Structure 1
Amino acid sequence: MPDDALLHRTQLPRPDVTAEEAAAILDSFYDLRGDIKELGSQQDRNYRIDTGSARYVLKICRVDYATVELEAQNAAMRHLSAKPDSPRVPQPFPASNGEDILFLAVGGEEYQVRLLSYLDGEPLTRRKYLAEPSVAALGAMTARLSVNLADFDHPGLERDLQWDLRRAGPVALHLLQAVTDQQARDRIAKVMVAAVRRIQPLGDLLRIQPIHHDVTDDNVVSRPDVSSRPIVDGVIDFGDLVNGWLVADLAVTCAALLHHADGDPFFILPAVKAYHAVNPLTETELKVLWPLIVARACILIASTEQQLAIDPDNEYVIGNAAHEREIFEVATSVPLTLMEHAIFEAVGLETPAPEISSLGLLLPGVSPDAIRLLELDLFSPHLSQDTWSRPGIELKLLESAARETGIAVTRYGEYRLSETIPDSASEPQTYALHMDICLPAGFQAAAPFAGRVERYGERTVLAGDSIRLHLLGLDCLHEAGMALTEGEPLGTVEGSSGHFGLLRIQLATEAGLVPPFFARPSHASAWSRLSPSPSRLLGVDCDAPPPRSAEILSRRESHFAKPQKNYYTRPPQIERGWKQHMFDVTGRTYLDMVNNVATVGHGHPRLAEAVYQQWSMLNTNSRFHYEVVAAFSERLARLAPDNLDTVFLVNSGSEANDLALRLAWAASGARNMLCLLEGYHGWTVGSDAVSTSIADNPQALTTRPDWVHPVMAPNTYRGPYRGPNSTADYVAAVRPTLDALDAKGEKLGGFICETVYGNAGGIALPPGYLQEIYAEVRRRGGICIADEVQVGYGRLGHYFWGFDQQGVVPDIITVAKGMGAGHPLGAVITSRAIADALEKEGYFFSSAGGSPVSCVVGMTVLDIMTDEELQENARDTGDYLKARLEALGQRFPIVGAVHGMGLYLGLEFVRDRQTLQPATEETAAICDRLLALGVIMQPTGDHLNVLKIKPPLCLTRESADFFADCLARVLEEGW
């Protein structure tokens, strides 16, 4: 039991010293004057003084604390400051009389007073979300602190401290006396006893050394990294410094992280891994880490209840109470052994696999050859289109399969697509920790090992020496407590005679453990240690193969050319899509907010059927004579202005723009081309030549051929002329280039630009801009090219073509991406005269552009767009989404502007709304956080600070809300 002095100190309120009294102390004994502010503390009084030139903290504590303990804290801070790789720590400042610690009477009571330097930086407490780099940095800093305190020694380290986790059990039982809610008190006590039982037998094997013992989100300070994420670099409050278990230091840090964890205890693992890399822990220390975290959670919540009972006005304690309750709930949400497995795996150590090789057969009357395995992952041929979302689909498929062979079984360790949850910010529980067996009702099961029958709700459990078999759907023949031998009848499958029944089987390695039937993918490895595969019970391998994402990514990097980048540093392996959603191999659903290629949505059955039908008949090139190429060309011409009646079909947007340049040269007889800065038109030699976006090519501005003449980008948001009244200024900015060509007597071939500034994030051109520029170009014999590859074809909602918004008719329209819905298809639409001009250079040919399959794809996409009113949906849902995004700008200063219209929107992030300094690193971090919440989003623009929002045109209002809600959450909680 803790001694009386320790128990007495747990009941002390804070010193009764006002801000005015603290100011008098600072003036009289430290010759300091300035602004005074109280800082939070549980049992001290802390005041910060700002003198204008420096800031300090006055710490006031009761004389009940031994002076030698305060001396140890001061000495430790000086010790650490002498270590070159230590975190920043405060430094003690002596009083005017040279003493580090003063004994002063205030209001008739004596206190101990110290002055420390104040560490600038942001604490982590009020940040709801911490990114993995910040979590890891906190673990690494705790480790460095422990390493640098290892050679520190002081008599004040030997102390009785309520927070010393070596005394956690007795202290918790004492503190619980203040908890008035008996149900809560009993729950905390039960949890504490379970944790102490894990810790106590191993306590003598744990290393003891000086530890800070309070490296928490309250007691660290951070500096922002380049993305404005907080990275901790300083630690304060050495009030819990003690000779204690080394691993307890990390346990305290991890416990503090749990209220940032969004309910996921695995959130601490980056901190554990980072700590272990700096200051390796023994296997015993790793084994007790999670029980110590649980014990810390119990102490926190019990101490809070007690402190509020004796000091109900302590705002610091009141403010932390909700956090500490959350810490307790997360710490107790999973079995202790689960986190032990997770911690070992995080640091690269393996725990022994359970021994289950001696298990017999559960269904001895079933031949392994009769078993049909049913696949329910995202590769399953049984889950076509959206059947995965239909209620009861698993049972329906099982029964159908069982009718063919007599018995059908689902796979253990399978990430089931049928368990996914669209538009969910949380990782769904898709990993099957069980197997479902569909077989005739009444079928008899036998005990596969000797054990005792137990009941857990609807589950029948056969408990053996080292393994437990959980069964659901079994009519057990025995009462609870009955002992069975291996092979003895256990029960029969429930259900009506002549019908199929469903038997669910699951193994567990611990007594009393009731595993979930499904686990989150990030928890799957640890859970599979506690609930291993029951395949052996059927005598056949029923396990799903694990995903090979890392291996496949490595193969990609080995043979796929590096310039062909993928999204994200750690990309999910996406293998399926449906409408506006995409699915990875773990069954996680992502809202696709970037795929303007998938115009009509992923996996559209009408498009798939049309491609199948045509490909099964004919696919060749456009030099053959077949009807659909005529029909599609005719239809495209009808979509264009009257004088643009001639169509080239190509493979891509790059090819379309490249061909458009050739047409302009052929029709004008000139080579010089105008283009806009910040523009992007493709990857071919020609289309790249007129692309000036440095986001796509950092050398773009210095490597243009001499026939390319970039002019000022009419960026009405961050350009030199801003707002809708800037048209004249931007037109005037083009004239010097035109005048220079005129002065040299050089002709102009043409002008190419996106009709909405797509790559810059959907910024509208200033009103009337194209009317004036087109007139100038045509006056010089040039051809006007409207690049509609990204922004056109109904995506703007209010207009089918972007040039309609400008009230102009171009000479050439280029289009691709959406017109093929993912199939390689593009088009150039122009006049007969311009098209014929190319023939003097020979004929033109594009392998897949006008093939029968490509034409059918193009026709079907247009049919779907019309029948499903996708342009109208782009208008209505796009307007709704834009309004929601604009509302975020009222709340968050980082939101600079919302560009675009329909479902081509750009959300631009800035660090300052006056200077418009781009928030480039923040935007990348925001995209990473959105991915974790189930949204695919990528940055664009020359500064990579714009979210280019261009989802499939079938985006629903519900999904638009999900995206806006996720974005609001990121901006509010951090990234």
Structure 2
Amino acid sequence: MLEMSAFGRAELPRPNVTAADAARIFAEHYGLSGPIVELGSQQDRNFRVDTGSGRFVLKICHAEYSRLELEAQNAAMRHLTKTTAGPAVPQPVAAKDGSEILSLDINDQSCQVRLLSYLEGEPLTRRKFLPEATVAALGRVCGETARGLASFRHDGLNRQIQWDLRHAVAIADALMASVPDPGKRARVSAAMAAAETLVKPLSAGFRLQAIHQDITDDNVVAAADADGKLIPNGVIDFGDLMEGWLIADLAVCCASLLHHASGDPFFILPAVRAFHAAHPLNADEAEALWPLIIQRAGVLIASSEQQLELEPDNDYVLGNIEHERTIFEVATSVPLAVMQAAILDAVGINKTPALPSMHRLLPDIDPVAIRIVELGTLSPHLQNGNWHRPGIDQELLSDAAGEAGAALARYGEYRLTRTRHHSATPSATRALFIEMVLPAGTRIAAPFAGSVELAGSRFRLVAHDVVLLLDGVDTVLETGMKAAPGLDLAVVSDSGHLKIQLCMDPTVTPPEFVMPHQAAAWSSTCPSPSILLGADFDAPPLESDGLLETRHAHFAKPQKNYYKTPPQIERGFGAQMYAMDGRTYLDMVNNVAIAGHGHPRLSAAVGRQWSLLNTNSRFHYAAVADFSKRLADLAPEGLDTIFLVNSGSEAVDLALRLAWAHSGARNVISLLEAYHGWTVASDAVSTSIADNPLALTTRPAWVHPVTSPNTYRGPFRGADSAPGYIAAVEEALKNVDAKGEKLAGFICETVYGNSGGIPLPKGYLKEVYRQVHERGGVTIADEVQVGYGRLGHYFWGFEEQGVTPDIITIAKGMGNGHPLGAVITSRAIADSLEREGYFFSSAGGSPVSCAVGMTVLDIMRDEKLQENARDVGDHLKARLEAFGQRFPIVGAVHGMGLYLGLEFVRDRATLEPATIETAGICDRLLDLGVIMQPTGDHLNVLKIKPPLCLTKESADFFADMLAKVLDEGW
């Protein structure tokens, strides 16, 4: 029986102690002095002192807290330090008289005073976002502490406090009068009572031991790991130490996480797994965890409201009360049974009951005759974005049923038709039901004995352990009637559309679709109704993890993939990409798909040309002539000769060969921090250490890298910095001259793409090109990334500099993902190569490649993609530039059109690159539905190169999500 002492303490305000009082105690009893800061607490007073040689915390509580309890806390901290390799904990510090606990009268109050060592680190409570690594680490710290305390014994553990979850209902009821909103009081009381019906029968299996009972986001300290993630490594505040249920320790920890969860209760599961790994739960404890989290949430609300009645100005409580209200809302946002299933699955305990044998629901329908309609990401029925058309599911089912008599959409399928664009959270795509189209009037029989209920449009057949839910029926039996197995229940209504769902909990009203990460738990509550139809109509499970293992086993390791745990993306349309689980991602990095993914005109053009002919360019056909002329028409006058190749690397490789052949020399000037390709020659002139860490020490002797004209972080900065960078080129040219050698040429991107689209300083190329030409060299403009309309304001990057190169290399966007590249040059330079023999590229200039290239140009013209790149790009750049006023990490925004770079720095004066932070930002953006990757030698620049069909709405979604990340953390 709970004694009233717990409630008596709950009614205590904090001791009336000021910072001046604390300073006097520090000096008089401990010989310490220094700046003092008060730390938050609900019922104690805590003060930190900085002595110069160390920090300490003075803890002051009312005398109602017995000395024996405080002795237990001190002993527990010493015990953990001696007996575990777990997290750090504070240590008691004796006063000058040798006492660890002082009984003092302070301002006419009897108080107990202790001094503890201070643990350095950052608490988690004010962090808006916690990454999975942090959540898991908090669970691990909680588990390690509980494991360490399992062997701790002390008479002071036998205490009664308001946080003891063994008495949660009684405590909340006693404090509930302080909750001012009667509706909230009723909700909290009802939720706690429902949780208690589950906790009580399980409690006999709960282990008792010493528990901290307050390992929360507020009571741990954390430090950043190598990836910049904040990882808890210390535990503080042992004020709630007692003997209690082990599972209560984890319940308290998990409840504290819910105000970071963005409304998703599944957010706690990494902490549960980590706790279980450190200190395994038994089945009863695991099953009771979620109900106990609900009870902890109820106690928090009641206690905080009661404390505010006593102390309306308690900033600590005022700062936490909104968090605690959020904790309760999230804890009660999902059925208890679903979260119980999720937690049991997380710790590897299977308690899902098997369905009994059942009668056929549709006795007149042969399962073999039912046609399955696929509605997932790879569905052949979903084309050209039609999956967003309202009613498309039912339309496709009706078409299939018209041919076969009956059609079905599968249980467990991740429907592409349910995905949403521009969503920070995954869409609810996973079907928990079977959807059918059948002849009107089709007979429906009871699969098991139960009672009939009608809830809105839903028909329910309820047994004690399972419920059948039907939509789209005309009932035969009335509400309250009993049905025996095989008895006629209803008929399919005139619409012919029938939805079938099972639920193992009669108190739950299940949704039809759930988010992918919630699917396993919901499937335990809502198993497949295939058993009712006499055949397996379940969608096959996804194989993403297995496919990634296969990729790593057989795909060469240097061919990296984006992200440590990448989504399996199998479809795209416009600027959107779709994973197999139906999650939509905004593609902000894929400069290959210049016209957008899945363009119907490209699909049609490729299909038709392939059905006619695909061969190599030594045959004579119209497409190669037509495409070559169209490319020449895009180039400046005099550049009228085309080589068609397979890729940007091949284009750059060929351009270098042309320079060598035409000049009769070998030496090439290139830029530092540049990337041009992966062939031997194109790699030779690539100096980016992000792509090749050994680039600066492995260049062949004919390559002469010069200082990159980086006007943001280079040695010369600003728009007028050209002379300094031109001087670096002059120095390299003089070195070539001094050796008595000739110059083959100069190559650079005409906008500094690999560093995020930094424009070259005004006049740079004009003077460099002049000096190169004076020496008989050839100028090569690498437009593979930056050209072809992507800049919006210019079709070619070199236009901004007012120059014309001798050779242009292009690829990537010109084929919209098809392997297609080109070299555009003059007839004289092209003919120089013939002295060394013929040139040939097997697929370069093939009929299909030419059809692709011309169709891309048609799309760019007809859909005004260059103009769109200008307008949307200018809008997006303005939004990103505004971030500089809000977020210190934003250093600069580079580029133009839809080739932008957002550079992150730790310090705007030193420009220290924020490399780790940029990686974390990209990972968080993926969670929010945006694909983004870093670029630059320091990997601290977001490379913003989306398809040119990007809409203003999509640009705003990207900017909004980036602002969310920069505001909340990563």
Q: TM-score range by the shorter chain?
A: over 0.9
Q: Which residue of 2 aligns with 1:176?
A: 176
Q: Which residue of 2 aligns with 1:393?
A: 392
Q: TM-score, normalised by structure 2?
A: 0.99
Q: Which residue of 1 aligns with 2:111?
A: 111
Deviations 1:159-202 (A, max 9, x none): 01111111212112212132232221121111111212212222
Report which stretch shifted further, 112-121 or 954-963.
112-121
Q: Residue 310 in 1 paired to residue 310 in 2?
A: yes
Q: Which residue of 1 aligns with 2:517?
A: 522
Deviations 1:248-283 (A, max 9, x none): 111111110111111111111111111111212222
Residue identity matched to 1:434: F
Q: Which residue of 2 aligns with 1:142?
A: 142
Q: Is the partner of 2:112 in helix, strand or coil?
A: strand
Residue identity matched to 1:426: T
**Please, which runs of 5 or more residues in structure 1 have no aligned partner?**
none
Q: Is the partner of 2:383 in helix, strand or coil?
A: coil
Give distance in 1, aligned partners of 2:470 and 2:622.
62
Deviations 1:9-42 (A, max 9, x none): 1111111222222222223322323222221111
Q: Which residue of 2 aligns with 1:912?
A: 907
**Please, which runs of 5 or more residues in structure 2 have no aligned partner?**
none
Q: Is the partner of 1:759 in helix, strand or coil?
A: helix
Q: Which residue of 2 aligns with 1:604?
A: 599
Asked if the contact 2:904/2:918 (under 8 Å) is kept, the reply is yes
Distance 1:83 1:763, change over 3 A: farther
Asked if the contact 2:27/2:33 (under 8 Å) is kept, the reply is yes
Asked if the contact 2:464/2:506 (under 8 Å) is kept, the reply is no
Q: Is the partner of 2:398 in helix, strand or coil?
A: helix
Q: Which residue of 2 aligns with 1:560?
A: 555
Give distance in 2, aligned partners of 1:16 and 1:760.
58
Give distance in 2, aligned partners of 1:253 and 1:543.
37
Give distance in 1, aligned partners of 2:229 and 2:907.
17
Residue identity matched to 2:31: D
Deviations 1:920-971 (A, max 9, x none): 1111111111101000111111111111000000000000000001001111
Report which stretch shifted further, 532-541 or 747-756.
532-541
Count residues in correspondence.
970
Report which stretch shifted further, 342-351 or 629-638.
342-351
Correspondence list, 1:627-642, <5 A: 627-642=622-637
Q: Residue 214 in 1 paired to residue 214 in 2?
A: yes
Give distance in 2, aligned partners of 1:319 and 1:9.
21
Deviations 1:761-794 (A, max 9, x none): 1111111111111111111111000000000000
Using the TM superposition, give the Cα deviation of residue 738 of structure 1 relative to its aligned residue in structure 2, in angstroms: 1.3
Give distance in 1, aligned partners of 2:877 and 2:120.
39
Deviations 1:714-754 (A, max 9, x none): 11111111111211011111222211111110001111111
Give distance in 1, aligned partners of 2:727 and 2:184.
74
Match among 943, 957, 960 for residue 965 of structure 1: 960
Q: Which residue of 1 aligns with 2:412?
A: 413
Q: Residue 435 in 1 paired to residue 434 in 2?
A: yes
Q: Residue 364 in 1 paired to residue 366 in 2?
A: no
Q: Which residue of 2 aligns with 1:341?
A: 341
Q: Residue 64 in 1 paired to residue 75 in 2?
A: no
Deviations 1:350-369 (A, max 9, x none): 3334324x111111111223
Asked if the contact 1:354/1:529 (under 8 Å) is kept, the reply is no
Q: Is the partner of 2:489 in helix, strand or coil?
A: strand
Residue identity matched to 1:352: T
Residue identity matched to 2:502: L
Residue identity matched to 1:927: C
Q: Is the partner of 1:82 in helix, strand or coil?
A: helix
Q: Which residue of 2 aligns with 1:450?
A: 449
Residue identity matched to 1:508: C
Give distance in 1, aligned partners of 2:605 and 2:697.
46
Residue identity matched to 2:150: A
Q: Residue 757 in 1 paired to residue 756 in 2?
A: no
Q: Is the partner of 2:755 in helix, strand or coil?
A: coil
Give distance in 1, aligned partners of 2:472 and 2:306.
48
Give distance in 2, aligned partners of 1:631 and 1:615.
17
Give distance in 1, aligned partners of 2:886 and 2:919.
20
Using the TM superposition, give the Cα deviation of residue 645 of structure 1 relative to its aligned residue in structure 2, in angstroms: 0.6
Report which stretch shifted further, 641-650 or 299-308.
299-308
Residue identity matched to 1:383: L
Using the TM superposition, give the Cα deviation of residue 240 of structure 1 relative to its aligned residue in structure 2, in angstroms: 0.3
Give distance in 1, aligned partners of 2:39 and 2:464.
55
Q: Residue 794 in 1 paired to residue 793 in 2?
A: no
Q: Is the partner of 1:674 in helix, strand or coil?
A: strand
Q: Is the partner of 1:37 in helix, strand or coil?
A: strand
Correspondence list, 1:819-898, <5 A: 819-898=814-893
Using the TM superposition, give the Cα deviation of residue 84 of structure 1 relative to its aligned residue in structure 2, in angstroms: 5.9
Correspondence list, 1:5-84, <5 A: 5-83=5-83
Correspondence list, 1:313-332, <5 A: 313-332=313-332
Match among 526, 540, 543 for residue 548 of structure 1: 543
Using the TM superposition, give the Cα deviation of residue 694 of structure 1 relative to its aligned residue in structure 2, in angstroms: 0.9
Correspondence list, 1:100-499, <5 A: 100-356=100-356, 358-495=357-494
Give distance in 1, aligned partners of 2:736 and 2:395.
73
Using the TM superposition, give the Cα deviation of residue 911 of structure 1 relative to its aligned residue in structure 2, in angstroms: 1.3
Residue identity matched to 2:717: R
Asked if the contact 1:672/1:747 (under 8 Å) is kept, the reply is yes
Give distance in 1, aligned partners of 2:360 and 2:737.
90
Asked if the contact 2:48/2:56 (under 8 Å) is kept, the reply is yes
Q: Which residue of 2 aligns with 1:774?
A: 769
Q: Which residue of 1 aligns with 2:719?
A: 724
Deviations 1:658-696 (A, max 9, x none): 000000000000011111110111011111111111111
Correspondence list, 1:585-600, <5 A: 585-600=580-595
Q: Residue 532 in 1 paired to residue 524 in 2?
A: no
Give distance in 2, aligned partners of 1:720 and 1:273.
50
Give distance in 2, aligned partners of 1:597 and 1:350.
46
Asked if the contact 1:354/1:509 (under 8 Å) is kept, the reply is no
Q: Which residue of 2 aligns with 1:952?
A: 947
Give distance in 1, aligned partners of 2:927 and 2:648.
31
Asked if the contact 2:807/2:823 (under 8 Å) is kept, the reply is yes
Report which stretch shifted further, 675-684 or 328-337.
328-337
Give distance in 1, aligned partners of 2:53 and 2:475.
79
Using the TM superposition, give the Cα deviation of residue 245 of structure 1 relative to its aligned residue in structure 2, in angstroms: 1.3
Give distance in 1, aligned partners of 2:354 and 2:331.
25
Using the TM superposition, give the Cα deviation of residue 83 of structure 1 relative to its aligned residue in structure 2, in angstroms: 4.1
Deviations 1:383-433 (A, max 9, x none): 111100011111222222221122211110000000000110101100000
Asked if the contact 2:104/2:110 (under 8 Å) is kept, the reply is yes
Asked if the contact 2:203/2:284 (under 8 Å) is kept, the reply is no
Q: Is the partner of 2:496 in helix, strand or coil?
A: strand
Correspondence list, 1:492-507, <5 A: 492-495=491-494, 500-507=495-502
Asked if the contact 2:646/2:821 (under 8 Å) is kept, the reply is yes
Match among 656, 660, 664 for residue 661 of structure 1: 656
Give distance in 2, aligned partners of 1:213 and 1:535.
45
Residue identity matched to 1:456: A
Residue identity matched to 2:129: Y
Give distance in 2, aligned partners of 1:448 and 1:612.
49
Q: Is the partner of 1:112 in helix, strand or coil?
A: strand
Give distance in 2, aligned partners of 1:597 and 1:46.
58
Give distance in 1, aligned partners of 2:636 and 2:787.
14
Residue identity matched to 1:464: A
